[in-house]
Each structure stands twice: as structure tokens, then as C-alpha cells.
């Protein structure tokens, strides 16, 4: 079981404002002045629902990397940066929809503000502007998932992981003890090489980069010929050979065997295309 199946009920939180110290408006020199709030840590694995009722996973690091994952990876995927000032959080990210007959689709540029309680809750409201079409909003109240509290190391994440593509043959990704990633998809012929590294050994988040080569056809995650997951016969990545994706990985130990969840995105290619994916593996 991976983190995408562990979405709890959402708890809405309210941040109370500071009370005025009054009287005649003159400050009492003997009254201690409260210090400004410490910046809350942004890092976490966050789960909940958005304003449309879709299940959401968000992954973030204290260094400001941010990923938004809608409908357990079958909906919108966002990626960008975040910062915290006290308990106020600001996020800037691109949002793409992977449910198309051929990836990618035009991204929307999103700016979000909200509040965060370190390792507890994250509430955000975003305004998104697509390159074509009307501006739209997204909001979510998310809870911190304790899977993020697991220590990270290359020794912990090393091993073989199986990816089962619905309706297609499975494939195995290998992570060596020094973090080298190798993955070959038998259906598309794609060879994927990369590197995984520890971000902060106290927390369960890894930096991951991969590059596609030798692809003969589209790398399909889901055979969607029955239309169960939305428009389009297939869901996958039709990235040109040489395309690189970067992102975050979390090792999920909430069940046996472990799962590995990864959220990845490319830069905007010279063609104007951009690719994103959320993929779950099972350790074998």
C-alpha cells in the first residue's frame, strides 16, 4: 500500500489573530512584547481534498520544492516552489492535466497563499491562469502524514521496485546502493537512467532525476481504452528521447512491502511541451 491510499478526513483550521493590548493606547513598558512567530518548516507529505472534492497529495521540502498531485496522480499535477514567513505560506507552481490522449497539455500558472502549522496542517488558496482560457481557482486543507518522519538514506531506498502499468506489462526499477537508477520498460523500449539522493536524512524525501532514451513508442502508465480514467485511450509519457525529469520520491513504509512514490516533471522543452507524472512502485 502506498501513501496515495492513506488519505484521511480533512480538518479545517482557523488561525486566530493577535489581540490588541489596550487601555489608552500607551504600551506598558513592563509588559513583555511577544516575539514574531518563527518560520514554520514547509517540508512534509500532505493529504486531503481540494475545493472540488478531489483527493490531493502534496509533497514539499524545507528548501522550497513543491508538488501538487490531484486524484492520486490521475488528475492535475503541479510543481514549483514555496516559501514560509512565520505561518504564512506562498507557493508558485505550474499545473498540468495528464488526462489526455497525448501528453502534454497547456500548463496553467498558479500563485497560492495560505497558512501552515509545521508538521500538522497546510491550507492554501490558489489562482491559476492558463495560457488559453479563463482563470480558475484551487484550494485545499491538508493534513501532515507521518510517513514523512521516516529517516532517509541511500541504504534504505536501495533495491528493486516493480511498477505495474494497468493493462500493460510490468517493469522493474533498480536503485543501487550509491543511488544510481536504472529502469527499462519492455513495452515501449524506453531505457531510463537516473540518480536518487538524500535531501535531509531526518526526513523521508529524496531528490530524483531521470532521463529517457531508446524509446520506440509512448511509455504508457495506464491502458485507458475503456475510458475509466477520463478522455483518451492511454495515459503515459510521450517524451522525446533525451528528455529529463526531476522531482521528489518518498519511501512509504506504512505496509509490507515498502512502496516508493515519485512525483516528476520536465522543464519546458524547446517545442513548448512540458511533461509530468506521479508513479507508485512496490518493493520486490
For 155-206, write each residue's pLDDT tens digit. 999 999 998 766 566 789 999 999 999 999 888 888 999 999 999 999 999 9
What does the alpha-carbon distance between residue 133 and residue 147 come to, in Å, rounded to a whole number? 38
Residue-wise pLDDT tens digits, 100-140 = 434 445 688 999 999 999 999 999 999 999 887 889 999 99
What pTM was computed for the model?
A: 0.80
Candidates 1.10.10, 2.40.128, 2.30.29, 2.50.20; correct CATH number of 36-148? Answer: 2.40.128
Q: How is the chain classified by DSSP, letter by letter?
A: --GGG---------PPPPPPP-SSSPPPTTSPPPPPPPPPP--EEEEEEETTS-EEEEEE-TTSEEEEEEGGGTS-EEEEEEEEETTEEEEEEEEE---SSSS----EEEEEEEEEETTTEEEEEEEEEESSS--EEEEEEEEE-GGGGS---HHHH-EEEEE--BTS--EEEEE-TT-EEEEE-TTT--EEEEEEEES-TTSS-EEEEEEEES--S-EEEEE-TT-TTSSSSEEEE-PPTT-EEEEEEEEE-SSSS-EEEEEEEEPPPTTS---EEEEEEEE-
Q: According to CATH, what is the number of the domain 149-283?
A: 2.40.128
pLDDT tens string 241-253: 888 999 999 999 8
Tell me, what's the pLDDT at 255? 80
* Cβ atoms 58, 70 nearer than 8 A: no
pLDDT exceeds cutoff 50 at 21: no
Q: For position 46, what pLDDT does the model report? A: 97
Report the pLDDT value the prediction gives residue 222, as an integer from 0 to 100. Answer: 58
pLDDT tens digit string along 60-92?
999 999 999 987 666 788 999 999 999 999 999
Range(s) within the chain of domains with CATH label 2.40.128? 36-148, 149-283
What is the predicted pLDDT for the residue at 11?
Answer: 21
**Residue showing cell 507552481:** 93
- Whether pLDDT at 14 is above 60: no
Q: What is the pLDDT of residue 18?
A: 27
Percent of the chain with pLDDT over 70: 75
> What per-residue confidence (pLDDT) applies to 236?
65
Q: Cell 520520491 sits at which residue?
A: 249
Amino acid at each position: 500500500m502506498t501513501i496515495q491510499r492513506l488519505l484521511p478526513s480533512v480538518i479545517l483550521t482557523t488561525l486566530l489573530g493577535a489581540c490588541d493590548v489596550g487601555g489608552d493606547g500607551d504600551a506598558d513598558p513592563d509588559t513583555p512584547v511577544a516575539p514574531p512567530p518563527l518560520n514554520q518548516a514547509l517540508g512534509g507529505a500532505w493529504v486531503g481534498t481540494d475545493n472540488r472534492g478531489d483527493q490531493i497529495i502534496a509533497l514539499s521540502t524545507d528548501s522550497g520544492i513543491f508538488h501538487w498531485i490531484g486524484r492520486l496522480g490521475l488528475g492535475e499535477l503541479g510543481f514549483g516552489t514555496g516559501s514560509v514567513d512565520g505561518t504564512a505560506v506562498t507557493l508558485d507552481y505550474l499545473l498540468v492535466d495528464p488526462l489526455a490522449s497525448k501528453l502534454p497539455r497547456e500548463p496553467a500558472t498558479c500563485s497560492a497563499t495560505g497558512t501552515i502549522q509545521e508538521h500538522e496542517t497546510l491550507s492554501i488558496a490558489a489562482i491559476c491562469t492558463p495560457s488559453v482560457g479563463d482563470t480558475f481557482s484551487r484550494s485545499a486543507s491538508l493534513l501532515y502524514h507521518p510517513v514523512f518522519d521516516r529517516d532517509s538514506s541511500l541504504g534504505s531506498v536501495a533495491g528493486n521496485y516493480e511498477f505495474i502499468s494497468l493493462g500493460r506489462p510490468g517493469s522493474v526499477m533498480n536503485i543501487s546502493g550509491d543511488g544510481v537508477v536504472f529502469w527499462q520498460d519492455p513495452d515501449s523500449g524506453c531505457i531510463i537512467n537516473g540518480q536518487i539522493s538524500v535531501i535531509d536524512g531526518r526526513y523521508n524525501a529524496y531528490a530524483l532525476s531521470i532521463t529517457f532514451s531508446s524509446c520506440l513508442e509512448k511509455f504508457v502508465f495506464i491502458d485507458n481504452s475503456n475510458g475509466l480514467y477520463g478522455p483518451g485511450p492511454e495515459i503515459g509519457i510521450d517524451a522525446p528521447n533525451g528528455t529529463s525529469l526531476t522531482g521528489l520520491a518518498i519511501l512509504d513504509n506504512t505496509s509490507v512491502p515498502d512502496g516508493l512514490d515519485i512525483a516528476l516533471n520536465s522543464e519546458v522543452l524547446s517545442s513548448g511541451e512540458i511533461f509530468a507524472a506521479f508513479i507508485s512502485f512496490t518493493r520486490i
